[in-house]
Structure 1
Amino acid sequence: MLTQATLSLEQAPPFSVPIRFFLTAPLFLFLAGVVLMIYGADALTFRWSPVTLALTHLFTLGFLGLVMVGAMMQMLPVLAGSPVPGVFWVSRLVHPLLTIGVSSLVMGFIQDGPFWMPVAMAGLAGGFAVFAGGVAIALMRVKLPSPTVTAMRLAVSGLAVTVILGLLLTASLVWPLPLWQPLVLTNVHLSWGLLTWVGLLVAGVSYQVVPMFQLTPEYPVPMTRYLSHALFMLVLLWSMLYLAGVVEWTPGWLAWGIVCVIGLGFTGFAWSTLQLQRKRRRKLPDVTLDFWRLGMLMLLAVFPVWMMRGLDHRFVLLLGVVMLAGFGLSVVNGMLYKIVPFLSWFHLQHRKMVQQGGVGPRIPTMKDFLPDTLARRQYRLHLLMLVTLGAAVFFPEVLSRLAGSLLSLSALLLCYNLVHAVRRFRAVSIELDRVG
C-alpha cells in the first residue's frame, strides 16, 4: 500500500498551484445557490431550460472541474512521481481561462446573448487544452502505471471527449451548425463527463487516499486492476450503440443492458468503499469519512433512480441532484478537508527540514489547520441542503429557494474553512521566514 512515507513528496508543486483552484471552486458553488434563489422553480422544472443548464455547469465545471484540475496537478507528482511540465505557469494560465470560461458560459445560458458563448468557448477550450496537454505528458512519462495512474489516463481521455462535445454543442447555440441530433449528443456529453471524468477519477484517487488517509484495508486487486478499463470501454460501447440506435441500427435493449452493467460497476465500487471504511483501523469520528460515506451512499442510489426515470420526468432531475450534489459534491468536499490540511502541513514541514534543519517553530498538525468542529458544521449544513434540494425537485415552488440559500451558505462555510487553513499556513510560513 502507498503510504505517506513512500509518496514522492519532494516533487510536489508549490502550495499556490492547487490552492488557487480549491479556493475559487466554492465561489461557483455559492453562485449556483444564488441562481437557484433568484430563479426558484424555473431551475428545477425542466432539464433543458437555460437556467437548469447554467446551474448544472456551475456544479460540474465551476466546482467539480476546478477542484479536480487542481487536485490532478498536485497528485500526479506525488502519487505517480511525474510532475506536470512547468506546473506553476500551467496553473497560472489554466486557472483564469477556466474561471472566465465557466463564468461566461453561465452568463450565456442565462442571458442568451451572442457575446458570452464565444468567450466561454475560448476560455474553456484554451484552459482545458493547456491542462490536458500538460497532464498527458506527465501521465505518459510514468513507466509502470499504478491503478490510480491508469484511472487518471482514462479520466483525462474522458475529459477530452466531454470538452469536444461540449464545444460543438455550444457552437451550435451561436452559429447555424448542421449538428446531428443535438439532444442525443448532449446525453453522450453528459455521460462522458460524469462517468469517465468524474467517476473514474474519483475511483482512481480512492484507491490511494481511502487506505492512506482513512486507514482502511486496500481495495480488492481485481477491482483496482480491471474496473477502470471495463467502465471506460463500456461507456465507449454504450455511446456508439446509443448514437447508432437513434437511427435504428441497433436494438435499444443492448445499449440499455450496457448501462445496467455500468451502473453495477459503480455500485460495486461504492459498496466496496463502504465495506473498507467499516473495517478501518481507527474508529475515531472523522468528518471527512462522513462526507465520503454520504457520497458513496448517494452513488449507490444513482442506479435505482436512473431505473425510475421513466416514471416521472422529475426523476431525471433527481438523478442529477443525486449524482452531482449527492455523490460528486460530497466526495470532493470531503477530499478537500484532507488534502488542504495535509498540503499545508507537508509544505511547512518540508521547508522547516530543508531550510532550517528541523529548527524553528512547531508545525501545526492537520487538525490544527482545519479543526473538525469547523468542518462538522459545514457537513451538517451540506446534509440539510442535500435533503432540501432533493425534495425541491418534487416541490420546486416551495423548496427551491430554500435549497439555494442552504447551498450558498454551505459553499461560504466551505470557503471560510479552507481560507482558515490557508491563513494558518501563511502565519507559520512568516514565522519560518523570521527564523531563517
Structure 2
Amino acid sequence: MTTHLADQTAKPTTTTPKHVTDLMNIEGLLTPGEIEVRDRIAAFVDRRIRPNIAEWYDNAVLPRELLPEMAAEGLFGMHIEGYGCGGRTATEYGIAMQELEAGDSGLRTVVSVQGSLAMTAIAKHGSEEQKQTWLPGMAKGEIIGCFGLTEPTAGSDPASMGTRATWENGEWVLNGEKRWIGLANIADVAIIWAKVSDEDARAAGVLAGPGSDNGEKVRGFIVPTGTDGFHAEAITQKLSMRASIQCEIHMDNVRLDGDAILPKNPGLKGPFMCLNEARFGIAWGALGAARDSIEAAIEYSSTRMQFDRPLSSFQLTQKKLADMTVELNKGQLLALQLGRAHDAGTLENHQISVGKLANCRTAIEICREARTILGGNGISLDYSPLRHANNLESVRTYEGTDEVHTLIIGQKLTGESAFR
C-alpha cells in the first residue's frame, strides 16, 4: 500500500488540458497529486532534455550529469515504499514515465533500469539488510544499478540462460555472459540472474523453494561491479536508444559472499516480477513519445506553407492528425486503467501484457505517421518523430517482444500455453 492513496479518488478539475491532443479531457480523470507529478516532470524535460537531446542522440552520449538530477526529482524507485524512496502511486509513476519519454525513450530507460528493475529486485526479493544497504543510495542516485537477465542466446526464453552460480568453499562463484544490459558499464552494482542447483542452495543454507527445474532454479545475486572477474562493455554502433547505454557483461569466476544471493522468490518468478514493473512503465512511457510526435507534427504543419496555405489546412493532413490522436487517447485511457488497477492491487499479469503490446504498437505507428507530415525535414534531428520511432524499435522489443505478450494474452484466453 502506498502513502498517497488519499490522492487516488479522482476529483473534477476545471484546468484547461495541458495538451491539445487531450481530446477526451483525460486530465479531468487525474488527481491533483497526479497533475503535480506530470507538470513537475514535464518542466524537467523542457528544461534539461529537449534543448540537448538532439546532440546527445547524435553523439550517442548518455549525459551522466542528468542522473543525480533525476534522483532529485524523485524518479529512482519512485513507487517503492521506504528506504528513502518516493512511495508514490503506480499511476503517478506511469504519468512520470509518459512525460520523461516525451523527451526521449533512452532517458526513460535509465529510470526503468534503476528503479523498476534493479531497485525493485532488491525491494521485492532482498533481505532487510540488503534493502537497508542498497536502496537509500540508489534512490539518491549515489549508487547506480543494472539488471542482468538477457544473454546472447537467451532473450525471450530466459529459462535457457547459461549463467551459473556455484557454491565453493563458502562463496558463490558466478560464470557467464549477459547482453543488452542497460547502464552496466557505469553501474556500481548489478543484479545478476543465474542458475543455481538445489544441492548448492542447500549447501549454502538457502531455501531452494518448490518446483525445481531439473534440480536447479534461477536466482538473483547482488554483484558489486568492481568485483574481480566482472567486466561490462558498451555496445556501440546502435541505430536506436543512442542517448542511453546497453552493454555486454562477462563474468569469469566472480566470487561473492554467501549473503549476495537474493533470498526471496526463487525461480523465474523473481525476475518476472521485476519485468512486470518495467512493462507497466513502458505502457505509459511509449505514449509520451507518441504524444510528442503528434505535437511536433501539429506545430510543423501549422507553419509549413504549401500551395499558399498551411499544411495543416489540408484534409489528408487533418486525417492523419485525427487518426493518430484518437489512437493516442485510447492508449492513454488503457494506461490509466492499468494504473488504477495497480494501485488497487487488482492488476493481473495479462493486463500488463495488453498495455505493453498495444501501446508500443500504437506509439511506433504514430511516430512513423507523424514523420510523414514533416516530409524530408522529418529525418533531421531538428524534429523528434523519427528519433522516437527509432527508439521505440527497442522499446517494442525489450521487456517482452510482441510475440511474447501475444502468447501471454493467448494463454489467458484459451488456458493453453503455446510457448513450448
TM-score, normalised relative to structure 2: 0.29
The structure with more helix, counted as a fraction of residues = 1
More strand by share: 2
With normalisation by structure 1, the TM-score equals 0.29
